[in-house]
Amino acid sequence: MRKIHRLPWFVVLAASLIACSPLQPGEPRGADLVLTNGRIWTVNPKQPWANTVAIRDGRIIYVGGSENAGLFAGTKTIDLGGRMVMPGMVDGHTHPGLVSLEQYELFSEAEDHETFMADLKEWANANPGEGWVRGCCWPVQAYVDGDKGPDRIHLDEVFPDRPLWLTSSSWHSYWLNSKALEALGVDQNTTDPRFPIAMFKRDDKERLTGWVKEGAGWQFFGDVFELNPELHREGMRAALNTLSEHGVVALYDGGNLEFSDTVYGFLKELEDAGELPLRYEGTYMISVPERRQHAVAEMKRFRETYGGERLQFNTVKLFMDGVDENRSGAHISPYDDDPDYVSNTMLSVEDLRDFLVELHEAKLDLHIHVIGDLATKNALDAVEAAKTQVGKDFYPRVSLAHLQSIHPSDRARFGELGVSANFTSWWHGDDGLDSANVGIGPEKAADTYSTMSLLNTGANVTFSSDDWRLEVLTPFLGIEVGHTRRYPGAIAGVENPTMRGPAEERVPLELMVKGWTQNGAYQLRMEDNIGSIAVGKSADLLVLPQNLFEMDTQSIHSTKPDAVIVEGVLIHGEL
C-alpha cells in the first residue's frame, strides 16, 4: 500500500430564479428540505458558490441565493449558520471487501531480519501444533535488493513441519516455507503466471526460494485463509460506515481476490435490507492473464446475481504490473539496483487492445493498476490502438490507477485519449522510508505522482483511498496530503513531516475537491446524477463543521461532516 495555491474565496453569484430553479409557472413550489444561509461549494463551474439549496423527492430543485428561499414557505428549513456544504464524494478505488479477510495467528512489526526471525522463533516455541500458520508482516526493506529477496531456508529452520504463509509489509508479495509450497502444489515444474510480475522467485540455480509475487500468491488465498464470516461481515459494515460517515456516497471496488461471491452476496443482503449506505461499483479482478478470458462472463453473472439499484457492475479491474517494493513494477528502464532487469506487463499492448475491443462490445469499462512508466505507456498505447480500430463510438471509459511513475512524454496523452488518472492521494507524502524509491533510483524517485502535471494537460484526475484499514478510509486525508504532499504528523511519526517533491505537483484545494467529487463521478459514469450540487441531480450533500478553504490545511485530515445526506435523506450526523 502503501496546495498552497488558492483561488479567490469570493465569487459573484448569478442566482436568479430563472437560472437556478427548475420550477415552472403554476408548478407546486413545495420542497422536502431547504438548507439556507450556508457557504455552498457546488463544484459547478457555472455557479461555484450558493447560499441555499432546496430538495424534493431526493433531488435538488433549487440552488441559489436566500432571496428566493421564500418560494418554499412552510417547508422544513435549516439555517446552516454559515457552515460549508459540498457534494458527496466518490472514492475511485478502495477495498471494503478485504476487511478482516486475512486472519493472522502470527504478527510482527520487526524492521530487520534478526528481529523478525526472533519473533518467528518465539511464536513457534509458544504455539506447537499442526496445520497452517498465517503471519504478517515480513519487512520488505530488509530483504529486497534488486532480484534478491527472502529465502525459505530461513523459514524451514523454524517451521520444518508446518506450512507457513507470511504476508509482506507492502502486501503485494509473500514468503512461504517448503511445507507451504508443497501444500499448495507449487514445485520446480510450476509455471509463473506472468514473469516477472506474478511469479514464484527462483535463485540462480532455478531453486524455488519461497518468495511469491502478486497474483501468483493471490490465487491461493482461498486455500490458505479460512474466512470467518462473522468477522468479515462486521469488518465490511465498519468499512462501509466509516467511508459513508466521512462523506463517500459512491465507490469503486478494486477487487476481492477469490472472495467476490462472498463479498457481493453480503452487499446484496445489505441492499435488499435497505442498509447499503452508498453506491457500490463491484468488479472482476484480472491478476493473472488467464482471468481475462472470464472477465466479461463473470461481470454479467455478477450483474444477474447480485446487481441492484446501488450495487452495480460496470468496470473490470486489471493489474498491468505490480509494485516497486517487490520489483514487479513495469518500467521502461531497469531498476536502479538491478541493471539486468527486463520489465514486462500483465498483458501485451496487442492483447490489451483486443480485450478493450471485447469490452467495447460488452459495454463495460476498465480500471487498470499501473505503477511503472512502462505499464502506463503500454496501457495508453493499447487504448489508442483500440480507439483507432473501433472508431469514434468506442465505449469503454478507461482509468489508470496509482501512477507512481509516468514518462513525461505520456502525460498529455491522458486528456487526448480521454483516460482518467486515479491517484491514491494520501500516498503522496514523504514517509522517509520508501523501499520503492530505493529500487527506482533517486532521479525517478524525485518525480513521482505527477498529479498537477496531468491536471495541467486537461486530464480527468480522480482520487481514492485504496485500503481497508479504517484509519485511512476518509477522503479528507487524501485531500490534505494531495494538497500539501506532506503526511500528517501522526501518520509520519514526526512533528514536522517533510514534503514529497516536486513542489509544483501540489494540487490546489479546489481541484482536490473536484477530483473527489465531479471527476470521480465521471470515472464511474455517474456525472449526470452526482458529483456537483446542481438542479436535477441527486441530493447528496455534506455539511462540514469548518470551511475547507479557510481552515489550517494540516488539520483537514481530521474533518468529519456534521451531516451526510444521500438522496435527500440524512444518514449520518444532524442538521
Whole-number pLDDT of residue 288:
97
Residue-wise pLDDT tens digits, 235-268: 999 999 999 999 999 999 999 999 999 999 999 9
Mean pLDDT for back-to-back runs of 10 residues, the chain (575 residues):
31 32 49 95 95 96 86 84 98 96 94 97 97 96 93 98 96 96 97 97 97 97 94 97 98 96 98 98 98 98 98 98 95 93 95 98 98 98 98 97 97 98 95 68 90 98 95 96 93 83 96 98 98 98 97 96 98 96
Whole-number pLDDT of residue 496:
82
Whole-number pLDDT of residue 23:
47
Question: Distance between CA 282 and CA 260 in Å, rounded?
Answer: 9
Query: CB-based contacts of 226: which residues, under 8 Å, 6+ apart?
Result: 103
Query: CB-based contacts of 54: which residues, under 8 Å, 6+ apart?
Result: 21, 31, 33, 34, 35, 60, 61, 62, 63, 69, 72, 75
Whole-number pLDDT of residue 436:
57
Whole-number pLDDT of residue 131:
95
Whole-number pLDDT of residue 29:
62
- Computed on alpha carbons and rounded to an integer, the radius of gyration of the chain in Å comes to 25
Whole-number pLDDT of residue 433:
57
pTM: 0.94
Q: Is-contact 284 294, C-beta < 8 A?
A: yes
Q: Is-contact 21 64, C-beta < 8 A?
A: yes
Beta-sheet strands, E only, within 77-229: 77-79, 84-87, 89-94, 106-107, 133-138, 164-168, 173-176, 199-202, 208-213
Handedness of CA 221, 223, 226, 227 (dihedral sign): positive
